[in-house]
Amino acid sequence: MQNKRENMENRSGGAENGGRKRHPNPYRNRNSQNQNSAQNTQKRNPKSTNESRAQENRKQSGRKSHNPKNSNRSSGGGQRSGGGRRPRIDTTVPAEMREAILENEKIQQERMNPWRLIDTNKKGKLRFTPLGGLGEIGGNIAVLETEDSAIIIDVGMSFPDETMHGVDILVPDFSYIHQIKEKIKGIVITHAHEDHIGAVPYLFKELKFPLYGTPLALAMIGNKFDEHRLQADKKYFRYVIKRKPYNIGDFKVEWMHMTHSIVDSCSLAIETPIGTLIHTADFKIDHTPIDGYTADLHRFAHYGAKGVLCLFSDSTNSHNQGFTKSESVVGRTFDQLFEKANGRVIMSTFSSNVHRIFQAMDRGVKHGRKICVIGRSMERNIETSRRLGFIDIDDRHFIDAHEVGKYRDDEILVVTTGSQGETMAALSRMATDEHRHIKLKPTDTVIISASAIPGNEASVSKLMNLLLKAGVTVRYKEFSDIHVSGHASQEEQKLILRLVQPKFFLPVHGEYNHIAAHAKTAVECGVDERNILLMSDGDQIEISTRYIKKVRTVKVGKRYIDNQNNKEIFADVIDDRQKLSTEGIVNIVVQISTQNGKMVNKPVVTSHGLVPDREDRKFAADMQRLIEEYLLHSKIEKSANSKVIEDDLRSVIRKHILRQYKKYPIIIPTVFLL
């Protein structure tokens, strides 16, 4: 798959450019004009014979492709997406048999290319702009717009890396949303994972729009609104019913049930003025889900048969061959682990993974254990899921944390947060012996039923070390089915591609290598590689019935949030923290006489993170010498400005430290003029 997004900006279809010649574009469908011409000819000559149509098909399949890769492709897009060459029928074949073969070929072509039903004479255009979720895992947010209206698809958060000291979460930069706020008719939520809803409260503090989603998704957003004191904004909630289209501006949106690692997850069918779009959101195809509700593949096939203009699909597991395992296999692993455990069982997973939590609690009840839920987000999500009927476990099986000591160890199951090694999460506080109620024992079994989110590997490793030092039995990756992904592997991606059979394909959700791998899978499934674009955050893609192209780049970025107070930390603060952690700090206090321009007493010099303690005196002497040299060549008068002197001293000291130590510490000189 070639990646030439920059070459896309000024290249649209020939008809859209007044017939001007363009350089070949590897992502544009060069056959679109030929296909349209063929369709128009058929309309003018409805009585043309099957044989003439077959001859035309054979001519098309025999033409050489502009892209040499196409010659080796077993099932490409355009004229060959039906699968291989057209039949060459021997002249000895009886006429009746020939007619049946040709008619079947016609049906196959119509079946394999339903997007040809799209009316290419429609002149409208759409623009799709991902503001997060590409080039990263998490932070999913995108804008879909026409000339007159727009919708936002998800408003998610992401996690910081190790250089962002004191930052708990990242939320998207909403600058572009402010630019088009008059056009936005609503926010469309696909499911309740943090990387799809975690930034909603921060957006609502700035802008407010109708918020559409399933009951569980909006209930979990409601919990966040309570934390942020936005209770009054729940009036913007619009609870949706699956399979029922909702008019939102120029769009008609239908939520289609999809299996994932959270309850009530959905994909979207979006009918627009120029054609239908399908957005899978996060998904996998689980044929044995815990609640029995399988993915609504019938609706995907329904829209696919009518012709889908563009498919947006989850790329997270694009490198994984085969199928992602069913969530139900984790329950069988829990059975084994509960049978092996002689003492307390402490299970940690994502607080939003309701099916995983339910399986653990259900197994705990079957093994005669009381359930203790610890962790604010875990308690809140379980309470919400029980209230809405997604978890059906009687109150008598639950106990509070302070009641754990009243029962034998083999009668206790603790369900808690902290599977990602978060410092303030309950499991980390247990591991460091800082939890108020739970003190780890050598007889405890700790189950970590999750995989490390990219970027969290070091935190998870640190947690594992602390747990093992505490002497507990840790169950993690040695059991292959202790955790399963909620994202589709290649065979599931292929299933969606074949059901939808879109004209255009835009892989979403994942790092660049993930969307590139997904694009290759799409080509194998019959999507013309010239009809695929690989996007990055901020790329604005224009979609028409004839082409897709990148038209510009909008401002994107991240804002840093401290979860302790739900407030933003500004970028310059993060930069200072980073510099403090890697370069150190130097403080200098000096008194200068305006009478003679000399220092009054020695300067007070302190440094941290730059020189070892044993060299403090030598460093202070060097600073004194530098200041004396500066004063010797400077003219200090009564009218002198201390701020100017401080800036000069900072420059002199920075040059010396760079030469001597190859560092750029924060330098804070304070000058008193006497």
**Residue 77 pLDDT:** 39
Task: Place 525 in a pLDDT band, splitting at 50, 70 and 90.
Answer: very high
The residue with tokens 């560092």 is: 663
- Lowest average pLDDT, out of 155-169, 257-271, 314-328, 473-487, goes to 155-169
CATH number of 126-322+486-562: 3.60.15.10
Q: How many residues does the chain have?
A: 674
> CB of 372 within 8 A of CB of 405?
no
Each residue's pLDDT tens digit, 391-406: 889 999 999 999 999 9
Each residue's pLDDT tens digit, 274-286: 999 999 999 999 9
- Lowest average pLDDT, out of 53-57, 116-120, 290-294, 373-377, goes to 53-57
**Residue 7 pLDDT:** 41
Residue 363 reports pLDDT greater than 90: yes
> CB of 197 within 8 A of CB of 168?
no
Task: Place 56 in a pLDDT band, splitting at 50, 70 and 90.
Answer: very low
Which amino acid, one-letter code, is at 272?
Answer: T
**Residue 161 pLDDT:** 72
**Residue 639 pLDDT:** 67
Task: List helix spans (H) across 64-133.
Answer: 95-112
The CA distance from 670 to 122, in Å, is 68
The CA distance from 438 to 427, in Å, is 9
CATH number of 328-475: 3.40.50.10710
Residue 29 reports pLDDT greater than 70: no
Task: Place 20 in a pLDDT band, splitting at 50, 70 and 90.
Answer: very low
Each residue's pLDDT tens digit, 134-187: 988 889 999 999 999 999 999 999 888 777 887 878 999 999 999 999 999 999
Each residue's pLDDT tens digit, 221-243: 999 999 899 999 999 999 999 99
Task: Place 86 in a pLDDT band, splitting at 50, 70 and 90.
Answer: low
Six-digit token string for 365: 């009840």
**Residue 171 pLDDT:** 92
Residue 638 reports pLDDT greater than 70: no
**Residue 343 pLDDT:** 93
* Mean pLDDT within 298-322: 96
Compute how many other C-beta atoms are within 10 angstroms of the C-beta atom of residue 184.
Answer: 19
* Mean pLDDT within 648-658: 91
Mean pLDDT score across all residues of the chain: 85
Task: Place 70 in a pLDDT band, splitting at 50, 70 and 90.
Answer: very low
Residue 2 reports pLDDT greater than 90: no
Most confident option among 202-216, 411-425, 444-458 = 202-216
The CA distance from 180 to 156, in Å, is 19
Six-digit token string for 277: 């779009």
| Burial classification of residue 101, based on how many CB atoms lie within 10 Å of its CB (0-12 exposed, 13-18 middle, 19 or more buried) | middle
Task: Place 128 in a pLDDT band, splitting at 50, 70 and 90.
Answer: very high
> CB of 579 within 8 A of CB of 663?
no
Do domains 126-322+486-562 and 328-475 share one topology? The answer is no
Which amino acid, one-letter code, is at 552?
Answer: R
The CA distance from 445 to 665, in Å, is 46
Four-point Cα dihedral 606, 608, 611, 617, nearest 10: 20
* Mean pLDDT within 194-216: 95
The CA distance from 277 to 505, in Å, is 10
3-state class of 447 per DSSP? Answer: strand
Residue 474 reports pLDDT greater than 60: yes
Structure letter (DSSP) for residue 72: G
Q: Tell me: domain 583-673, CATH 3.10.20.580, correct?
A: yes
pTM of the model as a whole: 0.79
> pLDDT above 70 covers what percent of the chain?
87
* Mean pLDDT within 645-651: 89
Q: Which of 135, 133, 132, 139 is nearest to 158 (CA)?
A: 139
- Lowest average pLDDT, out of 99-113, 116-130, 313-327, 629-643, goes to 629-643
Q: How do the domains of the chain map onto residue ranges?
A: 31-65+67-112, 126-322+486-562, 328-475, 583-673
Residue 85 reports pLDDT greater than 80: no
Select the more confidently predicted residue: 592 or 130: 130
- Lowest average pLDDT, out of 8-22, 115-129, 598-612, goes to 8-22
Residue 557 reports pLDDT greater than 60: yes
Compute how many other C-beta atoms are within 10 angstroms of the C-beta atom of residue 522.
Answer: 27
